[in-house]
């Protein structure tokens, strides 16, 4: 989450524990109904597959984690998937689970789907907690997410600081108080992820993790995190989807200042389409919300959701060229506080970039330093009659590029 899930949390309906179902959820099936694991407790979903739920101090108030009964190098124990953030409550709930629900067996390895704080936060503590003089309890993660997490604990990139503030200003965030908050947010990641293990074992798309004799195939997903790994067990009909497919909220997909021209939304939508290859009756174990059946339905809903937002943005920009910040009321039809706004903005930029790559929007740098977007159609009209409504900045650009 954090980067991600909190964004999602802030910008979307709260995924609370006892909220009424949203209309789109009627098309999904929750086989466990309202059952949720108690704090420090577990629910067994399939033989040797346990569901753990930890609290998060955000609007998105929980994360789901998984324990898989395993045997590694002849040793009986457990593989743990995702960790929770680094705080006392999460550590203490893990200790309760270790004491009462692991049949006295150790955790043998820690798998992390991606580098966001709610997923990797306690990885360092867990690996240390379960390593012995004879055997390392290893972190298993994609190479990219391990590297980016190592970088993020030492840096503010993507989460705040001066560069983020400049990037947001370019995209139309002009409120000085808000920009000041962004500038001051310099220990956002490290407050929830104090350390990342020094070594790891690489998860790679298409490789299988063998858990207690069963193959869990790694499926890469892009757009939400650098190299997100979901795990599909064909034999059990289970998909640990991480944040790539969530039943209630839509996954946050943001452009960040470290990759300012990125198009993560196209990557995300392409990754979702690839998941359609999995069986429709797969039980999806998401990081937020409840386990559900309806993978193909949910992928269709998410795809339609983003297409509808694309239409909204195009309509708004056809009326008047707008910055990403000016699209916030178009994309998020409710009040956003300062904190939520900064997260929603990354997502608004992602929509603009996806439309630009499709040739439907054009960037129009303003003399005020703000990047605005207009529909490609407007540009054609302007070119037919170059003296009407064509800002000076664009004439200058045309000159530079020799048009």
> Stretches 38-46, 101-109, 112-120, 192-200: which one binds Zn ion (CB under 5 A)?
112-120
Nearer to Zn ion, 62 or 69 (CB): 62
Handedness of CA 245, 1, 14, 348 (dihedral sign): negative
Of residues 367, 114, 370, the one with CA closest to residue 226: 114
Nearer to Zn ion, 170 or 245 (CB): 245
* Nearest-approach distance from CB 316 to Zn ion, in angstroms: 28
Q: Cite the DSSP H helix spans in 174-294.
A: 176-184, 264-275
> Stretches 1-9, 308-316, 321-329, 331-339: which one binds Zn ion (CB under 5 A)?
1-9
Of residues 76, 84, 356, 115, the one with CA closest to residue 225: 115
* Nearest-approach distance from CB 122 to Zn ion, in angstroms: 15
In the bound state, the residue with its beta carbon closest to Zn ion is 4
Contacts of 207 (CB under 8 A, 6+ apart): 217, 218
Q: Which of residues 253-272 bind Zn ion (CB under 5 A)?
A: none
> Stretches 5-13, 142-150, 171-179, 192-200: which one binds Zn ion (CB under 5 A)?
5-13
Q: How far is Cα of residue 274 from the mean position of the Cα atoms in its chain?
A: 17
* Nearest-approach distance from CB 225 to Zn ion, in angstroms: 6
In angstroms, what CA-CA distances link 236 with 37, 281, 346, 382?
Answer: 21, 11, 37, 58
Q: Which of 15, 243, 347, 394 binds Zn ion (CB under 5 A)?
A: 243
* Nearest-approach distance from CB 222 to Zn ion, in angstroms: 13
* Nearest-approach distance from CB 5 to Zn ion, in angstroms: 5
Q: Which of 109, 116, 309, 353 binds Zn ion (CB under 5 A)?
A: 116
**Contact flag: residue 4 with Zn ion (CB under 5 A):** yes
Nearer to Zn ion, 140 or 373 (CB): 140
Beta strands in 56-112, from DSSP E residues, in sequence order: 62-72, 75-81, 107-111
Contacts of 359 (CB under 8 A, 6+ apart): 376
> Stretches 115-123, 192-200, 334-342, 382-390: which one binds Zn ion (CB under 5 A)?
115-123
* Nearest-approach distance from CB 243 to Zn ion, in angstroms: 4
Handedness of CA 55, 56, 62, 65 (dihedral sign): negative
Nearer to Zn ion, 286 or 291 (CB): 286
Size of the site for Zn ion (CB under 5 A): 4
Q: Cite the DSSP H helix spans in 59-184.
A: 88-101, 117-120, 123-130, 143-152, 162-170, 176-184
Distance, in Å, from the CA atom of 48 to the CA atom of 5, rounded to the nearest integer, reads: 27
Residues that bind Zn ion (CB under 5 A): 4-5, 116, 243
């Amino acid at each position: 989450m954090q980067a991600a899930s909190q964004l999602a949390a802030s910008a979307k309906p709260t995924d609370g524990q006892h909220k009424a179902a949203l209309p789109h959820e009627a098309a999904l099936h929750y086989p466990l109904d309202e059952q949720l694991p108690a704090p420090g407790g577990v629910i067994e979903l399939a033989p040797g597959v346990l569901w753990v739920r930890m609290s998060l101090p955000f609007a998105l108030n929980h994360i789901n984690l998984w324990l898989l009964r395993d045997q590694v190098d002849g040793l009986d124990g457990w593989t743990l998937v995702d960790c929770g953030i680094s705080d006392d409550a999460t550590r203490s709930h893990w200790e309760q689970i270790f004491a009462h629900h692991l049949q006295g067996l150790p955790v043998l390895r820690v798998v992390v789907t991606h580098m966001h704080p709610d997923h990797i936060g306690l990885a360092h503590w867990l690996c240390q907690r379960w390593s012995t003089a004879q055997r390392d309890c290893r972190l298993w993660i994609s190479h990219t997410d391990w590297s980016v997490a190592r970088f993020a604990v030492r840096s503010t990139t993507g989460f705040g600081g001066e560069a983020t503030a400049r990037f947001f200003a370019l995209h139309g965030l002009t409120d000085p108080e808000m920009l000041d908050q962004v500038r001051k947010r310099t220990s956002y990641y490290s407050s929830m992820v104090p350390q990342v293990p020094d070594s790891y074992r690489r998860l790679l798309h298409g490789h299988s993790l063998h858990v207690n004799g069963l193959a869990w195939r790694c499926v890469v997903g892009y757009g939400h995190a650098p190299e997100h790994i979901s795990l599909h067990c064909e034999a059990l009909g289970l998909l640990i989807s991480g944040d790539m497919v969530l039943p209630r909220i839509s996954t946050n997909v943001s452009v960040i200042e470290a990759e300012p021209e990125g198009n993560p939304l196209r990557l995300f939508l392409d990754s979702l389409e690839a998941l359609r290859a999995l069986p429709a009756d797969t039980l999806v174990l998401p990081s937020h919300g409840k386990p559900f059946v309806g993978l193909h339905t949910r992928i269709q809903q998410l795809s339609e959701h983003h297409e509808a937002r694309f239409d909204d943005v195009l309509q708004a920009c056809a009326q008047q060229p707008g910055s990403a910040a000016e699209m916030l009321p178009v994309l998020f039809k409710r009040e956003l506080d300062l904190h939520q706004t900064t997260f929603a903005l990354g997502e608004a930029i992602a929509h603009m970039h996806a439309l630009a790559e499709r040739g439907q929007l054009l960037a129009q740098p303003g003399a005020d330093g703000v990047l605005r977007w207009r529909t490609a159609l407007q540009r054609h009209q302007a070119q037919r009659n170059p003296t009407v409504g064509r800002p000076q900045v664009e004439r200058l650009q045309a000159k530079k590029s020799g048009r």
